Amino acid sequence: MNKNKKILVIEDDPSAMRLVGYTLEREGYQVLTAPNGLTGIRRARSEAPDLIVLDIMLPGMDGYEICHRLRAEPETARLPILMLSAKAQEIDRATGFKVGADDYLVKPAAPSEILSRVEALLARATAPLSKMVSFLGSKRRVGTTTIAVNVAIALSQKGKRVTVVDFCCSATNMTEQLGLGLRLEHSIADLLARPIDTISHRDLEAVLAVHHTGVRLLGIPKPSGDHEDISSSDLDLLLGKLQEAGDCILVDLPPQPSGLGKVVLTRCDLIIIVTDSKADSLPNIKSTASLLGLAGISKERIGAVIIDRDAIFNEVEFSRLQPTIELITGVSLLGIIPHDTRASLEPAPSSTPATISNPDSPLAWATRGMAQLITGEG
C-alpha cells in the first residue's frame, strides 16, 4: 500500500535509525537515510521524498537549521516534516514549530505512535486544499479590495466555502466593506497563545467573522511596532489549516506586501494584479510581475485585471485586446472591469457589495466571471 511513498530519515544515532527504518519498512514505506544535515538536505532535493523524519541533535547542523533551510527552498518548502527528538522541553517543541516542523514527537517513541504521526501527516499532505488567490494592487486606490470582496461573494453564491484574509488597513478594507467590524470579537492573537499544532478547525472558526452570505473573514492586525506581531512560520501554519477547511481562500494584499504578505504569495495558486487604465498601468503590471518572479513565483501563477475607469477600452472587444496586453505585460489578462462602475469601486464603509445590491451591474458580471475562472468553470 505504501510502497510508492518515500520517507527520508535524518538521524545520526544508528539505533534510532534502525528502529525508525524498520518500523516504516515493515509497513511498506521506502526508507531513505542521512546521518547529518548536509546529506539530508541534498537527499531531500535529489530524491523528492514524501515526508522527512528529522532528529534535532545532529553533528554540524542541527535539526532546527535543517528545517529552516528546507522551508526556505521552493522544492522542499511544503514537505511534511516530523521532528523526532530526545529534546522534551516545551521550548524545544515550540522552536520546532516556529522553524516549520509539521509535528513533533519525543523519543523514545513507540513504533505505533511513529506510524500514526507519519500516516496523519501524509494524509494531510495529500488531502485536497482550498485554492488560494491573492489580489494585489499595482498601486494604491485602484479598487483591489472591492474586486476581492465581490469575487468572494460570487464564489459563496456558487456554493463554495470561502474565507477572505484581510491584510490591508485602509478605510475601505475587507472588514469595512463586508460590515464585519463590530463582529470581530476575537483576533488572530487568540490563536497564537498556544502551539499552532494544537489549534483545531473549531478554534479557527471561533475567530472568523461571518458575513450573511457565508463568506468568512480573518483579519490580520497591523503590526503594533517595528516588527510583525505574527511570525512567518505561524502564519504559514495557520494558512495551511485554513486551506484544509474550505474551498477557496482570497487574500487582499497591499501594493507592497510585507514579509507576511510574501508568505501568502508563496502559497498562492493564483495572484491577480489589479490596476486601472491609466498610461502607466501596463508597465506597472509588468514591473509587479517581475518582482514576483524574483521571489520565485512563475508567470503561470500570475494574472491581471484592469479597471477601465477612463473608458479607454470601452469600445474594443476583450478578445482583440487580450493578446496585445498580454504581450506588453507578460502575464495573462483575466478581465477588464467596465468604466461605468467607478462609484461602486469606492464604496462607503459597510455599504452593500455590488454583487448583492446590483447583481446586473457590469462589476457584478465581471466578478462572477472571475469566480468562474478561479473554480475552473470559466
Q: What integer pLDDT is reported at residue 279 of this predicted model?
A: 80
Q: What integer pLDDT is reported at residue 311 of this predicted model?
A: 76
In which residue ranges of the chain is CATH 3.40.50.2300 found? Answer: 6-126
Residue 7's SS3 state is strand
Q: What integer pLDDT is reported at residue 297 of this predicted model?
A: 86
- Rg of the chain over all Cα atoms, to the nearest angstrom: 23
Tens digit of each residue's pLDDT (9 = 90 or more) over 77-115: 778 889 888 887 877 777 787 777 878 888 888 888 888
| Distance from C-alpha of 307 to C-alpha of 373, rounded to nearest angstrom | 17
* DSSP β-bridge partners for residue 54: 10, 83
* Average per-residue pLDDT for the chain: 81
Tens digit of each residue's pLDDT (9 = 90 or more) over 143-160: 888 899 999 999 988 888
- Angle at the Cα of 141 from the Cα atoms of 140 and 145, rounded to 5 degrees: 100
Looking at residues 19-30, what average pLDDT do you find? 89
Looking at residues 234-263, what average pLDDT do you find? 80
In this predicted model, which residue has the larger pLDDT, 1 or 130?
Answer: 130
Residue 215's SS3 state is coil
Q: What integer pLDDT is reported at residue 1 of this predicted model?
A: 52
Q: What integer pLDDT is reported at residue 170 of this predicted model?
A: 52
Q: Copy the grid coordinates of residue 256.
A: 507592497
Band the pLDDT of 342: cuts 50, 70, 90.
Answer: very low
Band the pLDDT of 130: cuts 50, 70, 90.
Answer: confident
Q: Quick check: 171 and 177 in contact, CB under 8 A?
A: no
Tens digit of each residue's pLDDT (9 = 90 or more) over 168-183: 755 457 777 887 765 5
Q: Which segment of 106-115, 131-140, 211-220, 335-344 scores lowest on mean pLDDT?
A: 335-344
Cα–Cα distances in angstroms (integers) from residue 238 to residues 23, 203, 234, 279, in the given order: 31, 11, 6, 39
Looking at residues 281-292, what average pLDDT do you find? 89
Best CA proximity match to 209, nearest among 144, 261, 162: 162
Q: What integer pLDDT is reported at residue 321 of this predicted model?
A: 86
Q: Copy the grid coordinates of residue 95.
A: 522552536
Strands 209-210 and 216-219: antiparallel
Fold of 6-126: Rossmann fold (3.40.50)
Tens digit of each residue's pLDDT (9 = 90 or more) over 27-70: 889 899 999 989 989 999 888 898 999 998 888 889 899 988 88
Q: What integer pLDDT is reported at residue 84 of this predicted model?
A: 87
Strands 162-166 and 248-253: parallel
Answer whether residue 340 shows pLDDT above 60.
Answer: no
Band the pLDDT of 7: cuts 50, 70, 90.
Answer: very high
**Reported CATH class of domain 131-375:** alpha beta
Band the pLDDT of 227: cuts 50, 70, 90.
Answer: very low
